[in-house]
A and B are shown apart, each in its own frame.
Chain A
Amino acid sequence: MELSSSHDRADVVIVGAGPAGAVAARRFVEDGFSVVCIEQGDWPDYSRSHVADEYLELSAGKEWNPQPTVRRSFSDYPIDTSRSDVEPLIWNGVGGSAVMYAGIWMRLMPSDFRVRSLDGVADDWPLSYEDLAPFYERIERDFGVSGYPGDPAFPDIDSYPMKAAPIGPHGRMMAEAHNRLGWHWWPGSNAIATEDYRNQGACVQRGACMWGCINKAKASPDVTHWPDLLTQGVRLITRAVAQEIETDAAGRATAVVYTGDDGVTRRQEADVVVVAANGLGTPRLLQLSTSTRFPNGLANGSGLVGKRLMMHPFATVVGVFDDKLDPWKGVWGQPVYSLEFYETVKERGFVRGAKWNVTPTGGPQAMTAAFPWGGSEIWGEGFHDTVRDRLGHSLAWGIVAEDLPEEHNRVELDHSTRDRAGLPGVRMTYRTSQNTKDLLAFNVERASESLREAGAKETIVAPMIRETGWHILGTATMGEDAASSVVDQWGRAHEVPNLIIVDGSTWPTSSGMNPTPTIAAFSLRAIEHAVTERRSQAVSS
């Protein structure tokens, strides 16, 4: 093994260049720390984007597909999903899965932090909404968020950096329907610039946010963070596979061992190790990091590393309308959203709830796809009439269901497969709970009602869709007790105090929200605490 020379030693080494890792890098470098980031993938290549030409829908099926088992990129490690109800969607590279997300931007609601206290299930977070609120505000500036302040579903969203994107005729139609029903709705908040903003260009409403936003209106860290971080001196090592985190005799993390693109294995020594490799990659790296002191994986004294996997099962209800809506002419993910059925209502027979967002159904090719149209084949005599009915005349409610933690849902090393560096892949075991199924069924009914109120002549339900595992949470859970959690409220591993985990694997419960804002805000809070703590140590010494 080639050892890093002493001048290569860093104050901080971060694994993962997605939102959590980029936020951590920025906060450390702002305070003068030397930072190295190890990233298994490469930069997104926007020159290969087809958002401005007629091949958009074709490219979305392969190169810009968020499912690693479809994309089969060099940077993807093997994932066995044969025991999972949901396929994980991730993108390994600079910017992380935000390169392919829709940019939907939702804070958690206060109750999301107090599920045990309010609903008697799962666990409370060791921090509150109020603890995180100031960090949300800062993160919203860093990610160039646009939105309409004042949503009464939250205590205190008083401003956004930019005005909300147009809600479009489809968003307006659903807003008016909800006003008639007396149901909550709100103009969408999105990590999409509606004017030129720092590194981001103003959105031009191609409705192609997830497939290579070439004018960089969508906030992903390869746009919002990394160009500046490189200027500030952060060393980003791409195409480098982290193999393990080393520890010393005292149980402190000392280095990350990684294999570079040249095939050479190196050690990056640092005073602090930050892991931001998502809900699959983080437990995988901890499980790979075994030693005499940590025989069951690093920071795994609780036995919970890899367990409590939560996936946000997702349903869609499509409405087909007589009116011409052309819903792709705008932001893709969230022109409007609804939190009407987010909070627990005991009489419904399940706990917790779901968030809905209006989403377009796409172009002509998408009108024939199995999702979200229920899988029935439309070819033959009725083909043209069906396409004509749907194209430009349909929209969907996307329903994100809260999923509660269960220890049997887990991520483990899969020694029967190997990645390009020879490391084991992972095996997911995930079964959707009855509570989540009941929750989804209820929300699907209400979403159908919403669309009918808006005038839909037909509604089509995709009750739970396998290929929608965007949100991979809970596999290195946070808590106050070292016996029942992996990290504390600052992301510090209970057993390894200079190991900080800042991604969604830390979540005790999943909420029903798109998680990137909270992942980023948590990372900022955790690193700010680490910076403050180290500064005080430096002063006292």
Chain B
Amino acid sequence: MTAAELTAAERSKLAAVADLLIPRASGMPSASEALVHEEFIDRVFSVRPDLADGVRSGLADIADPLPASFPELQARALPRVRALAEAVTAAYFLNPQVAQLVGYRKRSVIPIRFDEDLDALVSSVNARGPIYRPTP
């Protein structure tokens, strides 16, 4: 196990906490259903190993019993939860099924097609004349 890998206990806790952050709703799977605590948090750490400590310490800050909802988690005012939440969110959107549901996975190549109507579009700007101040 590398420093960027979570233990089984950490993964279990991450699944529970991640579902508070990203629950199943509005036709979208919950974080644990999207395997945030397994493959996808590992993929986050493969690119950002620096996030592992934040996730680990963010989880450690959340004492048992776990909050029952995100507002309850917020009420504990734990400063490192935001870093945990951002890592969970990144992992969630790496899941291809989630990406398909939100309509975004990665940036694609779009060849340039120039705008042909700019003259008409800027005509009213030009009609108002220069707006700079001449200087000595």
A residues in contact (CB < 8 Å) with B: 50-59, 61-62, 109-111, 113-114, 117-118, 128-129, 148, 150, 152-155, 163-167, 172, 175-176, 178-179, 182, 184-187, 194-195, 202-208, 328-330, 339-340, 342-343, 363-365, 368-370, 377, 379-381, 383-385, 387-388, 391-392
A109 and B104 alpha carbons, distance in the complex (Å): 39
Q: How far is the CB of B6 from chain A (nearest CB, A)?
A: 17
Chain A residue with Cβ nearest B122: A186
Report whether over half of chain A's contact residues are helix, strand or loop; otherwise say mixed. Answer: loop
Q: How far is the CB of B85 from chain A (nearest CB, A)?
A: 6
Known contacts A110-B135, A150-B126, A163-B114; is-contact A58 B82 (Cβ 8 Å): no
Flag if A343 contacts B132 (CB, 8 Å).
yes
Partner of A148, one of B23, B69, B118: B118
Q: Scan B88-111; emit 1 where CB is below 8 A from any A CB, else 0.
A: 011001100001001111111111
Given contacts A206-B109, A207-B107, A364-B102, 10 further A-B contacts (CB under 8 A): A111-B132, A155-B134, A187-B122, A204-B109, A204-B112, A205-B111, A206-B107, A343-B133, A379-B22, A381-B23
Flag if B112 contacts A194 (CB, 8 Å).
yes
A109 and B130 alpha carbons, distance in the complex (Å): 12
A175 and B125 alpha carbons, distance in the complex (Å): 10
Q: How many cross-chain pairs have Cβ atoms below 8 Å apart between A and B? A: 173
In the complex, whether B74 has a CB less than 8 A from a CB of chain A is: yes
Flag if A51 contacts B107 (CB, 8 Å).
yes
Residues from chain A with a CB closer than 8 A to the CB of B129 are 152
Can you give 23 A-B contacts (C-beta < 8 A)?
A51-B107, A54-B99, A59-B48, A111-B133, A152-B129, A152-B132, A154-B132, A165-B112, A172-B121, A185-B122, A186-B125, A187-B115, A203-B112, A204-B109, A206-B108, A363-B104, A365-B86, A365-B93, A368-B89, A377-B85, A379-B85, A384-B25, A384-B27
Chain B residue with Cβ nearest A114: B135
* Size bracket of the B interface: 35 or more
Residues from chain B with a CB closer than 8 A to the CB of A59 are 47-48
In the complex, whether B44 has a CB less than 8 A from a CB of chain A is: yes
A154 and B126 alpha carbons, distance in the complex (Å): 12
Flag if A329 contacts B110 (CB, 8 Å).
yes
Partner of B131, one of A339, A363, A369: A339
Residues from chain A with a CB closer than 8 A to the CB of B50 are 62
In the complex, whether B20 has a CB less than 8 A from a CB of chain A is: yes
Flag if A58 contacts B48 (CB, 8 Å).
yes
A112 and B56 alpha carbons, distance in the complex (Å): 51
Flag if B74 contacts A377 (CB, 8 Å).
yes
